[in-house]
Amino acid sequence: MNELLPILLPILAALVVIGGLVPVLLKARKSGKQYPGTRDANDPVLPPGGGGTLLEDRPVAAPGRKAPDGVDVDGGLVTEVPDDVAGLETIAVETPLPVEGRLTRLRERLVKSNNVLGKGLLALLSSDKIDEDVWDEVEETLLLADLGTEPTMELVDALRERVKVLGTRSPEHVKALLREELIKLVDPTMDRSLRVERHADTPAVMMVVGVNGVGKTTTVGKLARVLVAENKDVLLGAADTFRAAASEQLATWGQRVGVPTVKSDIDGADPASVAYEAVKAGIDQEVDVVMVDTAGRLQNKVGLMDELGKVKRVIEKLAEVDEVLLVLDATTGQNGLNQAKVFAEVVNITGIVLTKLDGTAKGGIVVAIQKTLGVPVKLIGLGEGADDLAPFDTEGFVDALLN
């Protein structure tokens, strides 16, 4: 027996070690974490650089688009979603509506929601007698539409002068005058194009910021659809690591249009690290656009706002940040303006996305925001549908207000 001990002891020790590793490996497999030797061909691919982030097992490409690198498909095109995408349920890939179709549909919806403003102004300015009381009502109507004090006075003064000089009361003529002055205020000279053209060696990088509750993550998903409809290869970065299920929500939006998502596998991970890994993965994948969703910073939380600045600085170690879009709720009025000012102090805002513009006659907020920041409204959201986001068009917006 003593002679067998040297042989049996190593065998027993090996069995003990194996017995201890089995539950650990099984647990790791369920959680989606990676350990050396446990990854198979269908597991999520970790982007290099660590940081506790992973690239969602590449969702399938939309019909007619090449699948992202790393997807094993037949002929470079895919029509099915893998059964298991990093723990997410299978979601069919959708084909987003063309941008032109969305613009037409959204203008129609805007007409229905905002015509109270236009009709009210036209009724006042077409009255037989335009006295001080009428001008006071015009001024009040514009202020209630969140146009802002300075733009309101500017518009009223211009209309006063033109009506006095022309002496017209024709509804058609008054509408034409009002249209011209509103277009001037909304400012058609502002550059509303999105900077989404890939650079020589790096993708275009877009950060999306804003407070909680304005529909920021949803806006990122909808904008991904807009870009996919324009044949852009997009990658999403889920840097909102503080809100429960934000990463999964964004990944689901990505899955619906065949867009991969870089997200953290650790709750409360460093947002700057996630953003860094997303941009790095975008460079490695040679995508056109990387969109980084950030946490909903409260404008009075100085530490969190500083962290937002940190996210931008970390991204800039790898690539230029081409767009910083601020998402604002159109119904918040003056509070939305205060939010905009604070965000503009922390990061260089390049454009506004105005959500929840349906069901309200407060379309004047477009003018107020632009006057306050000197930054154009680039996109508007008019509903809850996946394709209810469209590029902002000055003349189309004004015409919708007045029809």
Lowest mean pLDDT among 2-6, 225-229, 334-338: 2-6
Assess if residue 365 is contained within a domain: no
pLDDT over 70 (residue 372): yes
How confident is the model at residue 359, as a pLDDT? 57
Instruction: State the average pLDDT over residues 54-61.
Output: 47
pLDDT over 50 (residue 38): no
Assess if residue 6 is contained within a domain: yes
Assess if residue 140 is contained within a domain: no
Which tokens sit at 122?
């036209």
Assess if residue 239 is contained within a domain: no
pLDDT over 90 (residue 232): yes
Instruction: State the average pLDDT over residues 203-210.
Output: 94
Assess if residue 275 is contained within a domain: no
How confident is the model at residue 167, as a pLDDT? 72
How confident is the model at residue 209, as a pLDDT? 92
How confident is the model at residue 212, as a pLDDT? 77
Question: Do residues 204 and 279 lie in contact, with contact meaning Cβ atoms separated by under 8 Å?
Answer: no
| Average pLDDT of the chain, as a whole number | 75
Report the percent of the chain where pLDDT is more than 70. 68
How confident is the model at residue 118, as a pLDDT? 74
How confident is the model at residue 329, as a pLDDT? 85
The domain tally of the chain equals 1
**For the segment 266-311, what is each residue's pLDDT rounded down to a tens digit?**
877 889 999 999 999 999 999 999 999 998 766 566 776 778 889 9
pLDDT over 70 (residue 61): no
**For the segment 243-273, what is each residue's pLDDT rounded down to a tens digit?**
768 888 899 989 988 899 999 888 778 899 9
pLDDT over 90 (residue 347): no
pLDDT over 70 (residue 106): no
Give the structural domain span for 13.
1-31
Instruction: State the average pLDDT over residues 375-381.
Output: 91
Residue 345 binned pLDDT confidence (cut-offs 50, 70, 90): confident
Residue 220 binned pLDDT confidence (cut-offs 50, 70, 90): very high
**For the segment 175-205, what is each residue's pLDDT rounded down to a tens digit?**
888 889 999 999 999 999 999 999 999 999 9
**For the segment 149-168, what is each residue's pLDDT rounded down to a tens digit?**
899 999 999 988 888 887 76
Report the percent of the chain where pLDDT is more than 90. 27
Residue 127 binned pLDDT confidence (cut-offs 50, 70, 90): confident
Instruction: State the average pLDDT over residues 100-108.
Output: 67
Residue with tokens 């003056």: 334
**For the segment 84-94, what is each residue's pLDDT rounded down to a tens digit?**
333 444 566 77
Amino acid at 188: P
Assess if residue 133 is contained within a domain: no
Q: Which residue has the higher pLDDT, 30 or 151?
A: 151
Assess if residue 228 is contained within a domain: no
Residue with tokens 């009255």: 127
- The pTM assigned to this predicted structure is 0.75
Assess if residue 397 is contained within a domain: no
